[in-house]
Amino acid sequence: MSEETAVVRRTKSANCAFCGKLVRRIKMYYRNGKYYCSKRCFKKMQEKIAKEQAETEAGT
Ligand SMILES: [Zn+2]
């Protein structure tokens, strides 16, 4: 089960999963089921998720 499939949907726009900015389809990054306005936001989100996961694992 892979969530990394880069599916391009016929959506006009979406909000960046990290900064919430409206993303136009032409410069949209779709990764792991979420949209990002830029590669930078994608990287930031990955860092955030990694950090949260590390904290969750540490807490158990
Ligand atoms: Zn963004």
pLDDT at 32: 84
pLDDT at 30: 87
State which residues form the domain around 19.
13-59
pLDDT at 28: 77
Q: Is residue 29 part of a domain?
A: yes
Q: Is residue 3 part of a domain?
A: no
d(CA 26, CA 3): 21
3-state secondary structure 22-50: EEEHHHCEEECCEEECCHHHHHHHHHHHH
pTM of the model: 0.66
pLDDT at 41: 93
d(CA 29, CA 39): 7
d(CA 31, CA 17): 10
Measure 60 CA to ligand 1 centroid, in angstroms. Answer: 31
pLDDT digits (tens, 9 = 90+) for 8-37: 555 567 899 999 998 887 677 888 889 999
Measure 24 CA to ligand 1 centroid, in angstroms. Answer: 11
Q: Is residue 7 part of a domain?
A: no
Number of domains making up the chain: 1
Q: Is residue 17 part of a domain?
A: yes
Measure 10 CA to ligand 1 centroid, in angstroms. Answer: 20
